[in-house]
């Protein structure tokens, strides 16, 4: 009895810790985003080099890291929206909740499209997009990223619909005469798939950060303008890290602050996704697809 | 129905699915290129249908993906580079699986000490999400400046030269973290099965009962992470100047060689599809019950 009581208290404590930490980090992220859009920064505050505080041109490193948040934040949100939209459509089409020949054809095509999207290596398709778009920018790239990532969400929603459509409460709603789209939107997507969306959103956000850094690097080594991310003097975590990496041997500390920001952010998104997984058992579904 | 007959039926289904996926992928990438304003390969005079059918005809009947801007055959060039990338990816998979298993072993050992366990977890995940180009720069700097190790392009040194890129590909950009999560979930899933609990209670060998499941899960992990690894080769091969498809894709993008990029992309989709096919067939061969689950 006592053990059960302590376990319950321990569980409640962890639950509270998760909620408070998530709210605090999200609030500080929101503050950083608002600050980055409101602060008039031109990236030309060149001055004296101070270890741990400035970059190689003497610009305020911490300020640049904070303003660098906007390089990934809105693109990340866009990728999440695109992925949610396409993933939901694909998942519903592949879930086969309707009957009839059109539904079966749709089902087959949706599954195939998800298989196709999953087999595209991301950097290769991004390079193709950079090549064929006249003046590519990072927003166009994240649209592609969102579409490719929609396959995973689509498969999760498909599995959820397949497992739920035979449950009693869905049969009951059908017997009550509730319309199919209402069953899908309210009873399946809203009440049962919310954790899937949260997991997908946090994973995509982490991925957009890494892709932005990777593309900044590709842009820096390219001789023919493959750079699609924010360019100097405006800061992004990618170009701050690329610049710092070039001066690693004489100013290693320049990499530390942006690297900590990157690792901290990505770990936070992974942690949120893990916590939601633990509570709702999403991982088991994701990895078994 | 005998096991072989059942397998051959599934094989036909899976091959049909594989061909259909390739077909849809080819339509998607071709349409993307056709719709773009920069049609360096495709001219807008002919219709989409005419150009697509002639492109597909060349690929299917003559295994010809066209020429690069330097008048080399795309398929010959891509297949010559693919073996280096294959070697790199194989190394990355081995590194990643070994490190993940080591972590899972450590995870169970450290479970009684939650603070220490949490710290190790943060360090491992932190290393895993370090941007791969920065880790690559660091490795090159440390190996050349501190230890005076000369990184040569000589393939005769093979494994020595590919070891660091393989390690980075298997660890960086969040790959190790994903792998650890996947393996941990699978091992937890297997060990909580009733037959495993019964085997444990009877004192039977753990590995004897787990070996088939382990093969299926390992193949599943490799097939689900194949795209991520092929994608990861781009950055790794640029950093270490390796002569693989990642570097080739980068150079193709630099020279705006759309034909070569299309070839690389179609070949990658083909390889990923093939890996998925092999994974499904081996899994069904080992455990025919998986057929029913799709």
Cβ(A289)–Cβ(B144) under 8 Å? no
Residues of A with CB below 8 A from B272's CB?
Answer: 118-119, 121
Lowest model confidence (mean pLDDT) among A209-213, A277-281, B106-110, B167-171: A277-281
Nearest to A263 among B17, B126, B249 (CB): B126
Q: Are the Cβ atoms of A259 and B134 closer than 8 angstroms?
A: yes
Mean pLDDT of B163-169: 88
Cβ(B246)–Cβ(B234) under 8 Å? yes
Q: Is the pLDDT of residue B162 over 50?
A: yes
Residue with the bigger pLDDT between A7 and B248: it is: B248
Quote the pLDDT of residue A41. 83
State the smallest CA–CA distance between residue B155 and chain A in angstroms: 24
Nearest to B174 among A206, A218, A223 (CB): A206
Cβ(A124)–Cβ(B265) under 8 Å? yes
List A54's β-bridge partners, or say none: A60
Nearest to B261 among A127, A224, A287 (CB): A127
For B:230-269, CB contacts with A below 8 A are: 230-232, 234-235, 238, 246, 249-250, 252-258, 261-262, 264-265, 268-269
Nearest to B32 among A132, A245, A289 (CB): A132
Residue B287, phi-psi category: left (phi > 0), alpha (psi -120 to 50), beta (remainder): beta
Cβ(B140)–Cβ(B130) under 8 Å? no
Mean pLDDT of B20-37: 89
> What separation, in Å, do the N-terminal and C-terminal C-alpha atoms of chain A show?
40
Using CB atoms within 10 A of its CB, is residue B110 exposed (0-12), middle (13-18) or buried (19+)?
middle
**Pairs of CB atoms within 8 A across A/B:** 162
Which residues in chain A come in under a pLDDT of 70?
1-11, 281-289
What value, to the nearest 5°, has the Cα angle with vertex B108 and ends B105 and B112?
A: 145
Residues of B with CB below 8 A from A118's CB?
Answer: 227, 272
Q: How many Å apart are CA A29 and CA A240, to the nearest integer?
A: 19
Determine what percent of chain B is predicted with pLDDT higher than 70.
90
Q: Are the Cβ atoms of B129 and A267 closer than 8 angstroms?
A: yes
Measuring CA to CA, which residue among B136, B151, B132 is closest to residue B231? B132
Quote the pLDDT of residue A260. 92
Residue A17 forms contact with B (CB below 8 Å): no
Mean pLDDT of B106-110: 80
Residues of A with CB below 8 A from B21's CB?
Answer: 112, 115-116, 119
Q: Collapsing DSSP states into helix, strand and coil, what is residue B107?
A: helix
Q: How many Å apart are CA B274 and CA B280, to the nearest integer?
A: 10
Nearest CA in chain B to A284: B185
State the smallest CA–CA distance between residue B112 and chain A in angstroms: 16
Quote the pLDDT of residue A286. 44
Residues of B with CB below 8 A from A267's CB?
Answer: 122, 125-126, 129
Residue A3 forms contact with B (CB below 8 Å): no
Nearest to A121 among B20, B230, B255 (CB): B230
Q: What is the largest distance, in Å, between two alpha-carbon atoms of chain B?
A: 74
Residue with the bigger pLDDT between B152 and A169: it is: A169
Written in H, E and C, the secondary structure of chain A is: CHHHHHHHHHHHHHHHHHHHHHHHHHHHHHHHHHHHHHCCCCCCCCCCCCCCCECCCCCEHHHHHHHCHHHHHHHHHHHHHHHHHHHHHHHHHHHCCCCCHHHHHHHHHHHHHHHHHHCCCHHHHHHHHHHHCCCCCHHHHHHHHHHHHHHHHHHHHHHHHHHHCCCHHHHHHHHCCCCHHHHHHHHHHHHHCHHHHHHHHHHHHHHHHHHHHHHHHHHHHCCCCCCCCCCCCCCCHHHHHHHHHHCCCCCCHHHHHHHHHHHHHHHHHHHHHHHHHHHHCHHHHHHCC
Quote the pLDDT of residue A285. 46
What pTM was estimated for this model as a whole?
Answer: 0.89
For B:33-72, CB contacts with A below 8 A are: 33, 36-38
Mean pLDDT of B28-33: 90
Determine what percent of chain B is predicted with pLDDT higher than 90.
19
* Cβ neighbours of residue A193 closer than 8 Å, sequence gap 6 or more: A156, A157, A160
Nearest to B130 among A129, A248, A263 (CB): A263
Q: Phi first, then psi: give them for residue A57, nearest 5 degrees.
A: -95, 5
Quote the pLDDT of residue A127. 93
Nearest CA in chain A to B260: A128
Quote the pLDDT of residue A287. 43
Cβ(A56)–Cβ(A251) under 8 Å? yes
| Interface probe, candidates B40, B127, B129, chain A, greatest A C-beta count within 10 A | B129
pLDDT in tens, B41-92: 566 677 888 888 888 888 888 888 888 888 888 888 998 989 889 999 999 9
For A:144-203, CB contacts with B below 8 A are: none
* Cβ neighbours of residue B205 closer than 8 Å, sequence gap 6 or more: B199
Residue with the bigger pLDDT between B36 and B252: it is: B252
Quote the pLDDT of residue B242. 87
The band of B285, judged by pLDDT with boundaries at 50, 70 and 90, is confident
List B73's β-bridge partners, or say none: B67
B10 half-sphere exposure, CB direction, 13 A CA radius = 24
Residue B17 forms contact with A (CB below 8 Å): yes
Q: Are the Cβ atoms of A123 and B235 closer than 8 angstroms?
A: yes
Q: Are the Cβ atoms of A210 and B174 closer than 8 angstroms?
A: yes
ipTM of the complex: 0.89
Residue A232, phi-psi category: left (phi > 0), alpha (psi -120 to 50), beta (remainder): beta
Q: Are the Cβ atoms of B254 and A223 closer than 8 angstroms?
A: yes
Q: How many Å apart are CA A129 and CA A144, to the nearest integer?
A: 8
Q: How many Å apart are CA B29 and CA B32, to the nearest integer?
A: 5
Mean pLDDT of B146-164: 65
Q: Is the dihedral of CA A51, A52, A56, A60 positive or negative?
A: negative
Using CB atoms within 10 A of its CB, is residue B7 exposed (0-12), middle (13-18) or buried (19+)?
middle
């Amino acid at each position: 009895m006592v053990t059960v009581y302590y376990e319950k208290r321990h569980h409640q404590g962890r639950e509270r810790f998760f909620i408070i930490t998530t709210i605090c980090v999200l609030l500080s992220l929101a503050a950083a985003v608002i600050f980055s859009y409101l602060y008039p920064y031109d990236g030309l505050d060149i001055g004296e080099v101070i270890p741990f505080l400035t970059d190689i041109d003497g610009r305020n490193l911490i300020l640049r890291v904070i303003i660098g948040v906007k390089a990934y934040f809105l693109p990340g949100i866009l990728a999440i929206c695109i992925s949610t939209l396409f993933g939901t459509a694909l998942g519903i089409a592949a879930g086969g909740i309707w009957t009839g020949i059109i539904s079966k054809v749709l089902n087959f095509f949706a599954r195939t499209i998800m298989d196709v999207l999953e087999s595209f290596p991301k950097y290769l398709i991004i390079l193709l997009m950079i090549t064929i778009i006249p003046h590519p920018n990072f927003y166009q790239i994240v649209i592609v990223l969102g579409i490719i990532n929609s396959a995973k969400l689509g498969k999760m929603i498909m599995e959820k619909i397949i497992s739920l459509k035979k449950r009693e409460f869905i049969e009951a709603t059908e017997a009550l005469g509730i319309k199919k789209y209402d069953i899908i939107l309210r009873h399946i997507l809203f009440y049962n798939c919310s954790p899937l969306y949260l997991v997908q959103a946090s994973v995509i956000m982490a991925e957009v950060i890494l892709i932005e850094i990777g593309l900044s690097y590709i842009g820096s080594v390219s001789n023919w303008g493959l750079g699609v991310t924010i360019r100097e003097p405006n800061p992004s975590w990618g170009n701050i890290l690329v610049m710092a990496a070039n001066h690693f041997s004489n100013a290693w500390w320049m990499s530390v602050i942006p690297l900590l920001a990157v690792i901290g952010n990505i770990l936070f998104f992974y942690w949120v996704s893990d916590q939601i997984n633990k509570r709702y058992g999403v991982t088991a579904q994701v990895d078994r697809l | 129905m005998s096991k072989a007959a059942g397998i051959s039926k599934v094989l036909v289904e899976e091959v049909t699915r594989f061909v259909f996926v390739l077909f849809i992928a080819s339509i998607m990438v071709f349409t993307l290129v056709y719709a773009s304003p920069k049609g360096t390969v495709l001219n807008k005079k002919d219709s989409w249908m005419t150009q697509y059918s002639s492109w597909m005809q060349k690929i299917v009947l003559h295994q010809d993906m066209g020429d690069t801007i330097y008048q080399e055959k795309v398929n010959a060039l891509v297949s010559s580079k693919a073996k280096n990338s294959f070697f790199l990816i194989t190394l990355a998979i081995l590194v990643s699986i070994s490190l993940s298993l080591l972590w899972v072993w450590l995870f169970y050992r450290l479970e009684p000490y939650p603070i220490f366990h949490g710290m190790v977890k943060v360090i491992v995940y932190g290393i895993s999400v370090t941007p791969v180009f920065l880790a690559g720069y660091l490795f090159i700097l440390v190996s050349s400046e501190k230890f005076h190790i000369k990184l040569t392009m000589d393939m005769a040194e093979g494994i020595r030269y590919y070891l660091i890129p393989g390690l980075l590909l298997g660890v960086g950009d969040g790959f190790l973290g994903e792998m650890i999560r996947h393996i941990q979930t699978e091992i937890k899933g297997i060990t909580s099965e009733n037959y495993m609990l019964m085997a444990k209670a009877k004192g039977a060998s753990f590995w004897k009962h787990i070996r088939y499941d382990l093969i299926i899960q390992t193949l599943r992990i490799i097939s689900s992470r194949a795209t991520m690894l092929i994608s990861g080769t781009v950055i790794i091969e640029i950093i270490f100047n390796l002569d693989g498809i990642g570097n080739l894709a980068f150079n193709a993008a630099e020279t705006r060689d759309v034909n070569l990029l299309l070839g690389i992309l179609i070949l990658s989709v083909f390889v990923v599809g093939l890996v998925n096919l092999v994974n499904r067939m081996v899994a069904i061969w080992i455990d025919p019950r998986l057929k029913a689950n799709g």
